[in-house]
Amino acid sequence: MRSFLASSLAFALCLLAASCSTTGPAPSSAGDSRVAAAQASGRVIKVACCGDGTSRGRWITSPANRYAAQLGSQLGSGYSVRSFGVNDATAVHHGPVPEFRDDLLPYARTSEWASAKAWAPDIIVLMLGTNDSLLVEEDENKNKVTKEDFVRDYGRLLDDATRTGAKVYVCTPPKVYNSRILHAIEDLASERGLAVIHARSGVQLGPNRIHPNTQGAGQIARFVAKAIRR
């Protein structure tokens, strides 16, 4: 009996020590509570679609056909969906990115990201990685960007998103130039207890084979709507 009690006490102390050594933001329990409170009060749930050109709807002429607009239609009147996407945005935002690729833009530094947080969304859907995968895929002696840079900076961006109190979903992009970025995205989300939405399987891309067309945007919207309703 004494041995059992001693073992139980030791196990409890181990759990306490582990919980005290945890770093970073808590998993998305605060976000779950915010969404639940909005549903209970009948308040419209605010969804911010954040990321690069896919979230913005690049090359899709009609705003009604873009991913965020289609997501709003699928979720219905109980939700308000806004796009805070930025063409050519990257997760990487430290180091030499603006110096060698002035066509790419670190998302954490954009006014759209600041506006998304100021809107106080209940849900943030963050989709980045396409442009980052291009940077990592190219000659690293030229770009000076590695997978580790991506992991560091996307992790900081996810932590920033989580600190807003919103429920955060991490969406894999429909186009990447290497699988290392996809694995990194999944690992970053898993480490933070965030849900991953896989938006790659069968998504139709437009003529440039990078951004989704109207049908592909609708597919992504369905993936995201299903995750939010789950």
Q: Examine residue 136 and state whether it is found in any structural domain, yes or no.
A: yes
Number of independent structural domains in the chain:
1
Q: How does pLDDT run along the chain (230 residues), one tens digit per residue?
A: 444 334 443 433 333 333 332 233 434 467 888 899 888 999 999 999 999 999 998 888 899 999 999 999 999 999 999 999 999 899 997 544 444 455 578 999 999 999 999 999 999 999 999 988 888 866 554 666 788 989 999 999 999 999 999 999 999 999 888 888 999 999 999 999 999 999 876 888 777 778 888 888 889 999 999 999 98
- Say what the pLDDT of residue 45 is: 96
CA quadruple 79, 83, 89, 95: dihedral sign: negative
Q: Quote the CA–CA distance of 209 and 15 in Å, as a whole number.
A: 49
The two three-digit tokens of residue 89, written as one number = 């945005």
Q: Domain containing 128: what range?
A: 44-229
Please tell me the predicted confidence (pLDDT) of residue 178. Answer: 82
Q: Indicate whether 161 belongs to any domain.
A: yes
d(CA 172, CA 156): 17
Inside any domain, residue 58: yes
The CATH number of the domain holding residue 59 is: 3.40.50.1110
- Phi, psi values for residue 192, rounded to 5°: -105, 5
CB 68 within 8 A of CB 109: no
Which residue do the tokens 């915010």 mark? 34
Q: Residue 90: phi, psi to the nearest 5?
A: -125, 160
Instruction: Give a yes or no: residue 13 inside a domain.
Output: no
Residue 142 lies in a domain: yes
Is position 156 within any domain?
A: yes
pTM of the model: 0.81
Does 25 reside within a domain?
no
Q: Is 9 inside any structural domain?
A: no
Helix/strand/coil for 92: coil
Q: Looking at residue 41, what is its pLDDT?
A: 92
Q: Counting every residue, how long is the chain? A: 230
